Amino acid sequence: MEISALVTILLTGAAVITISMALDHILSAVIPLRSMYYVLRAPGVVVHECAHILGCFLTGAQVRHVVFFSYERGSVMYTRPALPFLGDVIIGTAPLFGIPLFLSLLALVFSTYLGCIFPVFPTTLQSVDAFVALGGEIISTLQVNLLIHFNGWFLLYLYLTISLVLSTAPSSQDMKNAAIGILLLLIAGILVIWSGFSQLVYLLDGGMFLLGIGCTLSLVYGSIALIISSPLILWYGYTRNS
């Protein structure tokens, strides 16, 4: 594990959060009926809150109250986790890892049982060529399922993908809860890398590998949502400039 690899994972996570927040802002502005916007967001919000609940179970925090969906979106109230600092990080950022894994499960279900055709999406993106190849695979997936071999189930998959990507980014409260822990973990990671202590570096490699998979898959599905939503994004830009 090198510091450059750690920075790459963090930048990927930041890109995912930016895509999620930007899409949410744009779609909330261009969708004419507020009720349609809430219907679009509903599945993603439910999975987002379930990811927080799972984070609570993993860190020993007791869930006090759950709102899966409302006009103010969902929320989970919980006690302090048994793991100091790290617990808040896991709970606060759980959707960033849990939602892309759920999306991967959806792709598996839709391909295995509903006839949709998907490529094998990468778990790491470490070069410009990898990003270019990913873009080609996404466009090819849309062409195959919508034009060449039209599959109505694929429309449901697209709806769920956009909804889940919109809810991937941690909320401002989530980030506040996790901010100190994230900073401490970043500092600890850098110190571990500099120390060269093999066992600690091995543990860091394992943790960063899992986090990297979550961030990369989030970026993959975020890219899909961007391409699907491109007409609305262009319309948003046109209305703002006119």
Cα–Cα distance for residue pair 103/16, rounded to 1 Å: 14
Is the pLDDT at 135 greater than 80? The verdict is no
Name the β-bridge partners of 65.
77
Q: pLDDT tens for residues 89-121?
A: 888 888 877 888 888 888 889 989 999 988 776
CA atoms 192, 13, 118, 113: torsion sign: positive
For 60-91, b/e burial (b = at least 16 CB within 10 A) is ebeeeeeebbeeebbbbebeebebebbbbbbb
Asked whether 9 and 208 are in contact (CB, 8 A), the reply is: yes
Q: What is the pLDDT of residue 127?
A: 65
Across 127-149, average pLDDT: 81
Q: pLDDT tens for residues 148-199?
A: 889 999 999 989 988 888 888 777 777 776 666 666 667 777 777 677 777 7
As given in the structure block, the two tokens for residue 3 are 């510091």
Cα 54 from chain centre: 15
Across 10-22, average pLDDT: 80
Across 216-240, average pLDDT: 78
- Residue 221's nearest CA partner among 136, 91, 107, 55 is 107
Is the pLDDT at 1 greater than 60? The verdict is no
Share of the chain above pLDDT 90, in %: 12
- Residue 123's nearest CA partner among 11, 23, 9 is 9
Q: What is the pLDDT of residue 156?
A: 92
Element (H, E) at 98: helix 86-113
Across 37-64, average pLDDT: 90
- Residue 168's nearest CA partner among 56, 14, 34 is 14
- For residue 171, what are the contacts with CB-CB under 8 A and spacing of at least 6? 73
Q: What is the pLDDT of residue 40?
A: 87
- For residue 6, what are the contacts with CB-CB under 8 A and spacing of at least 6? 186, 189, 190, 193, 208
